[in-house]
Structure 1
Amino acid sequence: MKIKERAIVSLLCAVTICVSWSGFMSRNLPQDQRPCACERCLSEDDPWFMKRFNKSVEPFLSANYNLSEDDFSWWKGLWGEKTKFGTFRKLLDKVFLMIPPSPHVLEPSPDRCRTCFEADVGARTTHRVMYPESSVDLGDSTHFLMAPFKSIDFEWLLDALNTGYNATPEWIVNRKITANKDLVKIINPVFMRYVHDMWLEKEGYYPSTGFLALVLALHMCDEVSVFGYGADSDGNWSHYWEELVDKMVKTGGHPGNTEYEIIQKLHELQKLKFYTGF
């Protein structure tokens, strides 16, 4: 029995040493061979993470991006739209006459650490992910990242940043907002589909805006810190810009439990730091 116990202990020690050595070696490669200058880089080592993380997906739309009709059909199906592909392309062309046609994203490099933890977190907004229904006025230095869920969101963007949006949908409250047009980026429908298919494994109708923002941060940053995710004691997500009226909404069409479990898993794998507040 003791021999068996010694064998098991020896095996566990060997596995621990191998795992530790693997992590040690990845962090102690010559700097020019590492993807970033952080203590730990997101893209290093983990099969579970690398199965889901596709660094080749373009996070943002650009004037020259070739959105396929298949991806467009998936996206317009989110709200059961009937917009034709050609009509959508013409709408995009108008949008990119107003905002930068080629959004700048800082690329990973061995000589820098792109951190998504700002020293003034909670005091100043550097980036804000919004859609028409959640829109607010932004400061001149704040990046507006629009999460488009329907064609009308692009029409709203064109007008809301100019003379004001005057079409009929009553659910759009803010018809004119203040924002720096040079700092507007539009989240790519292909990126939204990637998050739904790869990260959420097609659970729910589509990802929540918060989860989209989180995966976006994993693509834009080498270090990510996360605050304020999860449901309240009633199982509802509370929007910080409005009082929750429907106490039975829970997490809506989003797979809230799955999203939360993935965030916890990313924290366990040290891909991000998750501050729950309790």
Structure 2
Amino acid sequence: MQKMNIFSRLTPRNIALLLSFMTIFLLYTPNPINNTTDSFDDSIFEASCSCKTCIMGFMDDVWFVYRYDPTTPALLNRKNSAMRRDTYKWWRGLQPSTFRVNYSEVVDQLFSLFPDKEHYSDAGPDRCRTCAVVGNSANLLGSHYGSLIDFHDVVIRINKGPTKGYEKDVGSKTTHRILYPESAVDLDNSTHLVLFPFKIRDMQWLISTFTTRHITRTYTRVKSSINADENKVNVFGFGASSTGTWHHYFDKTRTHYKAGPHGGDFENKTMHQLQQRNKISIYKGYR
């Protein structure tokens, strides 16, 4: 598989950069486009799928309604790229002290190269699609979740987590892989690339990767280019192992995730709140 040339091979269908499950556009943040907090249109909370348990069936759950706005776009494009002042201040705090780049200019450059449109707007009340979000926790080892994970319509993997050699426990199917420059890996033709831009340099790296390939370092060495195809949620592999340790299933490096920018403790509490409310199912790999 050849490396992509953005100018000759880019197509809107599959680059599925799906540009950005940006933290600022997901849970816990008001719509970055609208500065008002008007009440929701009740119609947006109606069940929108034919699944036995639908994410939209939550009108009796105040905790979930407060934190989940179905009108907030999950993926970045020009139309929704404007951030609220408080959101931008938070995101700006993630940038290095040498940050001197104009955010809007980088976004404009980004979408002059990549498809700038809404993605995955084909949901309907007659459809039910399942999604497995697969983390990298060692609690997957010995779980035998592989076939269960692969049974899902959408399988989202995080960063470098490999499948080869671990198929029995983690499966082999990957429809989407979420990454940022420091965790970038080559992708096969069936996998969509989803960039998670923690910092402005991540967006610049994406531009460079598909054009000049001049960015080879951020705070560490990164790949200057990658292989990728241009053209309901169950959660696996998050949290600690059965012994209470935190490390990846593919290495033995012990990591402390309870504080700092990773926010593992908050992540765990949020996922378990969602599980208690029957919004997701968590598979820990142990009983």
Tell me which interval the TM-score lies in, with the shorter structure as reference length.
0.5 to 0.7
Match of 1:179 among 214, 223, 228: 228
Kindly provide the amino acid, as one letter, of the partner of residue 70 in structure 2. Answer: K
- State which drifts further: 161-170 or 141-150: 161-170
Q: Residues 153 and 244 from structure 1, CA distance in 2 versus in 1: closer, same or farther, beyond 3 angstroms?
A: farther
Contact kept in structure 2, 1:235 and 1:250, CA below 8 Å:
no
What's the offset of the Cα at 1:147? 0.6
Deviation of residue 41 (structure 1)? Answer: 1.0
- Gaps of at least 5 residues in structure 2 are 1-45, 133-149, 156-170
Shift of the 239–164 alpha-carbon distance from structure 1 to 2, 3 Å rule, reads farther
Offset at residue 163 of structure 1 (A): 4.3
Q: Across the two proteins, how many residue pairs are aligned to each other?
A: 202
Task: Please tell me the root mean square deviation across aligned C-alpha atoms, in Å.
Answer: 2.6
- Provide the C-alpha distance between the structure 1 equivalents of 2:196 and 2:245, rounded to a whole number of angstroms: 24
Bigger helix fraction: 1
1:55 to 67, 70, 77: 70
Contact residue 258 and residue 264 of structure 2 kept, 8 A: yes
Match for residue 230 of structure 1? 239
Instruction: Look up the SS of the partner of 1:274 in the other structure.
Output: strand
Q: How does 1:119-198 map to 2 (within 5 A)?
A: 119=151, 122-169=171-218, 171-182=220-231
TM-score (structure 2 length as normaliser) = 0.62
- Show CA shifts across 1:196-225 (max 9, x none): xxxxxxxxxxxxxxxxxxxxxxxxxxx211
**Which residue of the partner structure matches residue 258 of structure 1?**
266
Deviates most, 105-114 or 125-134: 105-114
Q: In 1, distance between residues paired with 2:249 and 2:74? A: 24
1:75 to 78, 91, 96: 91
Larger of the two Rg values belongs to structure: 1
The residue identity in structure 2 corresponding to 1:236 is W
Q: Does 1:102 align with 2:117?
A: yes
Q: What is the match of residue 131 of structure 2?
A: 116
> Structure 1 pair 249/274, CA: closer, same or farther in 2 (3 Å)?
closer
- 2:48 is aligned, of 10, 35, 38, to 35
- Runs of 5+ unmatched residues, structure 1: 1-32, 183-222
Output the CA distance in 1 between the equivalents of 2:65 and 2:219: 42
State how far apart, in whole Å, the 2-side matches of 1:68 and 1:262 are: 24
Change (3 A) 1:250 1:263: closer
Q: How far 1:234 sits from its partner (Å)?
A: 5.6
Assess if the C-alpha contact under 8 Å between 1:236 and 1:249 holds in 2. yes
Amino acid at match of 2:267: E
- If asked which structure has higher relative contact order (CA below 8 Å, sep 6+), I would say 2
